[in-house]
């Protein structure tokens, strides 16, 4: 399934992230994964935050869930109040000064390519 990252104006200075499936704003954040590495470094510092549990370790980037093929990345797991049977992740990647975002679903499909 492919979906673009959509936002909706909530108030004059805030935006709402919309569900990639139903386009409603009722999303709940879950696990957060942070991947930090220098450009093209073979290893990445992976930090996974699940509630109050934090796990941090250094692993080969090729074995990580890092959305960036070359630098740092961030993955936020979401569930939607309306789409309870769909698990998806907002993936944020840095590449050459650009920030790329896409959704990846539990079946591994996504809405864009890795940066």
C-alpha count within 13 angstroms, C-beta hemisphere, residue 75: 23
Which residues of the chain are modeled with pLDDT < 70?
A: 1-4, 6-13, 107-115
Q: Specify the pLDDT at position 77.
A: 95
* Model confidence, pTM: 0.83
CA distances from 53 to 30, 36, 44, 61, 73 (A): 12, 19, 20, 22, 20
Q: Specify the pLDDT at position 110.
A: 61
DSSP-based three-state secondary structure for 42? coil
Q: Specify the pLDDT at position 30.
A: 95
The first and second tokens of residue 9, run together, are 């104006």
Contacts of residues 95-98 at CB distance under 8 Å and 24 or more positions apart, as own/partner, are 95/68, 95/69, 95/70, 95/71
Q: Specify the pLDDT at position 115.
A: 41
Backbone angles phi, psi at 46, to 5 degrees: -100, 125
Q: Specify the pLDDT at position 67.
A: 94
Q: Specify the pLDDT at position 4.
A: 62
Q: Specify the pLDDT at position 112.
A: 42
Q: Specify the pLDDT at position 39.
A: 87
- What's the rounded Cα separation, in Å, for the pair 37 and 94? 11
């Amino acid at each position: 399934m492919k979906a673009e990252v959509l936002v909706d104006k909530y108030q004059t200075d805030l935006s709402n992230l919309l569900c990639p499936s139903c386009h409603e704003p009722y999303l709940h954040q879950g696990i957060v994964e942070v991947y930090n590495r220098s450009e093209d470094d073979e290893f990445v510092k992976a930090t996974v935050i699940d509630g109050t549990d934090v796990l941090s370790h250094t692993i080969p980037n090729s074995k990580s869930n890092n959305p960036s093929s070359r630098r740092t990345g961030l993955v936020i797991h979401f569930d939607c109040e309306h789409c309870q049977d769909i698990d998806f992740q907002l993936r944020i990647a840095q590449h050459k000064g650009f920030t790329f975002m896409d959704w990846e679903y539990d079946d591994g499909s996504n809405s864009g390519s890795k940066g």
